[in-house]
Amino acid sequence: GTIAVPVSPHACQRRTTLNNRNRLFTDALNILAENAELSENEGPYLAFTRASSVLKSLPYNVTKMDDLKGIPNLGDHSRKLIEEILEGGTCNEVQDLIQNVRYQTLKKFTSIFGVGVKTADKWFKEGLRTLNELRASTIKFTKQQEAGLLYYEDLILPVTKVEADLIKQIIEEAVHRFLPSAIITLTGGFRRGKEYGHDVDFLITHREEGREEGLISKVISWMTAQGIILYDDITDNSYHKWKYKESETFDRFAKCFSIFKLQKMVHNLEPGRTCSHGSLAANETRGIGLAGHAGSPRHLTATAAKDKDWKAVRVDLVVAPFGQYAYALLGWTGSRLFERDLRRYAKHFGHMILNSHSLFDNKQNTFLLAATEEEIFAHLGLDYIPPQERNA
């Protein structure tokens, strides 16, 4: 017979590829997790997220409850849901939720760039239900939310790997103008092997530490002058103000949350291929918004035109000093749960504080340096998990 290898309760000790054999269950659990998140119920959010994640890591399809023997992170609620789906193909609680107006509305509102749960909930309580009601309201939006509404129809479209690679070329050209041997790495979901993303994440560094200072504003200014940037929000590096014992989710790197204006790649079409295929198709079928509509007082509808030759794409740029590069790379590759479990594992089992800048060993009272991700896993006493297996 075979010896069953126990499944770890820590996402950072599991290998989770994109080949999810239990999508029927994980989709349902993700909806419950999302609903908990939209209700600011952190406990249930984590419980459902962990339950979903452990199923994603299983190398087999779950076809009976017995298949879940010894699997951690599955509470009563999650097990009942799986049982119900095994018996009837669906789960009533999930079916009810996706019909629920509050769930639908908060999901829609939080899908706007710059809108978090608290804001979405406030708008919902004020009786607002649709994007056009938001656009027509007297709400004072942030600059980020204005951009989010303006480019909404594009920003909800998945970004393809082809588009991500194209954006990488654009950024390389811009960065190398100011710092020729800077290193630009695609991070986030695309580094984990995903074919689609909600944005494109990049990490920039230079072997000579200090040369990367001031880079981001120069690069963004230049790209803005080229007409490539639709929105940008630059944050300067504030690592000098950082107290490493603070457990912050956000890091202190210089970064820019931006929206790029990506020209559609018509010249890249193969002969015989029409515009209704591939990455161009999505825009053609969407975006029937309110362009030029009289009832759109603040014109927050720039992506509504049907035949425009560009697409708005969210891009995150992060600049790390070379000495922190490996930590930044690990921190920006994700997934969200993988990162969370790495930090939790470091704290509870290594008495260490991990963040996107460093690893601090409380017992030796010292920072542990690392030039590669492999070295960080080794410091933590963990087997190395490559990016493609961090899709927890």
Positions annotated as catalytic residues are 199, 201, 316
CB 286 within 8 A of CB 157: yes
Q: How far is the CB of 295 from Mn ion (least distance, A)?
A: 33
Under rule CB under 5 A, how many of the chain's residues touch Mn ion? 6
Q: Which amino acid is residue 379, in one-letter code?
A: H
Element (H, E) at 254: strand 254-263
CB 350 within 8 A of CB 362: no
Footprint of ligand ATP (CB under 6 A): 188-189, 194, 197-199, 201, 250-251, 331-332, 334-336, 339
Does residue 37 belong to the site contacting Mn ion (CB under 5 A)?
Answer: no
Q: How far is the CB of 337 from ligand ATP (least distance, A)?
A: 9
Cα(251)–Cα(318) distance, rounded to whole angstroms? 10
Select from Mn ion, ligand ATP, none the partner in contact with residue 334, using the beta carbon and a kind-dependent cut-off of 5 to 8 Å. ligand ATP
Hey, what's the torsion of the CAs at 116, 122, 126, 132, to 10 degrees?
-10
Among the residue ranges 46-54, 193-201, 362-370, 384-392, the one whose residues contact Mn ion (CB under 5 A): 193-201
CB 285 within 8 A of CB 170: no
Largest Cα–Cα distance in the chain? 72
Query: Measured from the CB atom, is 124 or 332 closer to ligand ATP?
Result: 332
Query: Measured from the CB atom, is 199 or 341 closer to Mn ion?
Result: 199
Check the annotation: does 316 bind a ligand: yes
**154, 199, 212, 341: which one contacts Mn ion (CB under 5 A)?**
199
CA distances from 178 to 166, 167, 214, 259, 366 (A): 20, 17, 10, 21, 35
Query: Measured from the CB atom, is 287 or 331 closer to ligand ATP?
Result: 331
Q: How far is the CB of 251 from Mn ion (least distance, A)?
A: 12
Check the annotation: does 383 bind a ligand: no
Q: How far is the CB of 132 from ligand ATP (least distance, A)?
A: 26
Binding positions for Mn ion, 162-191, rule CB under 5 A: 188-189
Query: Measured from the CB atom, is 81 or 175 closer to Mn ion?
Result: 175
Residue with tokens 């939080």: 110
Cα(380)–Cα(349) distance, rounded to whole angstroms? 8
Distant-in-sequence, close-in-space partners of 96: CB < 8 Å, separation ≥ 6: none
Cα(145)–Cα(140) distance, rounded to whole angstroms? 9
Cα(131)–Cα(158) distance, rounded to whole angstroms? 19
CB 77 within 8 A of CB 91: no
Among the residue ranges 60-68, 232-240, 279-287, 314-322, the one whose residues contact Mn ion (CB under 5 A): 314-322
Query: Measured from the CB atom, is 289 or 387 closer to Mn ion?
Result: 387
Q: How far is the CB of 233 from Mn ion (least distance, A)?
A: 13
Check the annotation: does 199 bind a ligand: yes
By CB under 5 A, name the binding residues for Mn ion: 188-189, 197, 199, 201, 316
- Going by the annotation, the residues of the binding site are 199, 201, 316
